[in-house]
């Protein structure tokens, strides 16, 4: 891995202290931006993801408005499920859907035996269009869902309150569930390799539902597949960010996995999370962790909350990437992001 880089985000991800704290926002492209709505009103979400010129345009939109250190590929964690043979759609008001659901061993045959990642070439094409539009200081982030979170959707077929189908599958057919997790993990390695070749400087794994299982179950069912996944991603020789969403209880469990940056959920106190990492002696760099709904507050409130995180980071973080502790919501006012960025830029430890 390079030691010196002109990209502040890559430096921080490698544990250095760049001259400015890098900042970007999870879900920075999306429905809170009128220019996104404008494109989206004429095209279905999945078609937008599959059209490189439009996906690239939507990726760049937030960078035209804000002084951000990174662009994140516009796509979705469920896009690769199409290469496994599932149909993917976003239904208005109901969220993402995958068909057919894979609810047990008997359903595994509904997935393709061999997966051809070139079916997802449109993603590489979008990255190739985005890269030349960035300055040398800006970082291009590629991403995928972590296997457990992707499998949650693959098994449930859509959003779920209690993940009953997923848990029944995991608890009653451990071996078959493991086959499914590993299938997604293999695809993830090929998919992120393709993204790196197409220009991604950093990759991020979203494990948004990691908090929906106990520590013991994470250790038993998820940890082994994540260990091998991160080991294989090391071959890319680029920084890897891991986001265990709602996963406060997984902090100590995932310690030991070989990624570079831990993205911290907004539910955790940033300073306490840093202390926990310190006591576990894991040398992770950190990303986070403003509550995205703080952005609905007043200017003074947003500035204070932003400063709090910067102060906590300045006490004990190694590399720090400022971010929200989960994705921006459609109601986010545009000025709120401007105040947050300004406060990060002004901060002096």
Q: Is 65 near ligand CP3 (CB under 6 A)?
A: no
Nearer of residues 166 and 318 to ligand CP3, judged by Cβ: 166
Q: Is 72 near ligand CP3 (CB under 6 A)?
A: yes
Q: Is 95 near ligand CP3 (CB under 6 A)?
A: yes
Nearer of residues 144 and 318 to ligand CP3, judged by Cβ: 144
User: Considering the complex, what minimum distance in angstroms separates the CB of residue 131 from ligand CP3?
Assistant: 16
Region 163-222 residues binding ligand CP3, contact defined as CB under 6 A: 206, 208
User: Considering the complex, what minimum distance in angstroms separates the CB of residue 349 from ligand CP3?
Assistant: 28
Q: Is 293 near ligand CP3 (CB under 6 A)?
A: no
User: Considering the complex, what minimum distance in angstroms separates the CB of residue 179 from ligand CP3?
Assistant: 23
Which residues form the catalytic set? 27, 31, 40, 76, 153
Q: Is 147 near ligand CP3 (CB under 6 A)?
A: no
Determine how many CB atoms are found less than 10 A away from the CB of residue 95: 11
User: Considering the complex, what minimum distance in angstroms separates the CB of residue 259 from ligand CP3?
Assistant: 16
Residue with smallest beta-carbon separation from ligand CP3? 208
Q: By CB under 6 A, name the binding residues for ligand CP3.
A: 26-31, 40, 45, 72, 74, 76-78, 90, 95-96, 143, 206, 208, 245, 326-327
């Amino acid at each position: 891995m390079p030691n010196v880089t002109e990209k502040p985000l890559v430096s921080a991800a490698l544990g250095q202290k760049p001259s400015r704290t890098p900042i970007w926002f999870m879900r920075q492209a999306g429905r809170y931006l009128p220019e996104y709505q404008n494109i989206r009103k004429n095209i279905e979400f999945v078609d937008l993801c599959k059209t490189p010129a439009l996906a690239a345009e939507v990726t760049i939109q937030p960078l035209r408005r804000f002084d951000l250190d990174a662009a994140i590929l516009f796509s979705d964690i469920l896009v690769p499920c199409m290469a496994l043979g599932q149909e993917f759609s976003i239904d208005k008001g109901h969220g993402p859907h995958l068909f057919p659901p894979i609810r047990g061993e008997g359903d595994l045959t509904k997935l393709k035996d061999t997966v051809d990642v070139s079916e997802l070439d449109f993603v590489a094409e979008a990255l190739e269009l985005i890269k030349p539009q960035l300055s040398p200081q800006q970082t291009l982030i590629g991403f995928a869902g972590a296997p457990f979170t992707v499998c949650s959707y693959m098994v449930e077929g859509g959003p779920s309150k209690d993940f009953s189908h997923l848990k029944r599958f995991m608890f009653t057919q451990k071996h078959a569930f493991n086959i499914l997790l590993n299938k997604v993990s293999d695809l993830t390695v090929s998919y992120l390799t393709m993204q790196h070749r197409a220009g991604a400087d950093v990759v991020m794994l979203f494990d948004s539902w990691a908090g929906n299982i106990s520590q013991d179950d994470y250790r038993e069912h998820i940890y082994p597949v994540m260990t091998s996944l991160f080991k294989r991603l090391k071959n890319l020789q680029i920084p890897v960010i891991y986001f265990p969403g709602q996963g406060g209880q997984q902090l100590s469990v995932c310690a030991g996995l070989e990624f570079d940056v831990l993205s911290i959920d907004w539910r955790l106190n940033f300073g306490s999370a840093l202390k926990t990492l310190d006591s576990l002696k894991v040398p992770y760099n950190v990303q986070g962790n403003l509550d995205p709904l703080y952005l609905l507050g007043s200017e003074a409130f947003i500035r204070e909350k932003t400063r709090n995180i910067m102060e906590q980071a300045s006490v004990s973080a190694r590399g720090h990437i400022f971010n929200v502790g989960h994705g921006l919501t459609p109601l986010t006012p545009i000025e709120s992001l401007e105040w947050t960025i300004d406060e990060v830029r002004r901060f002096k430890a």
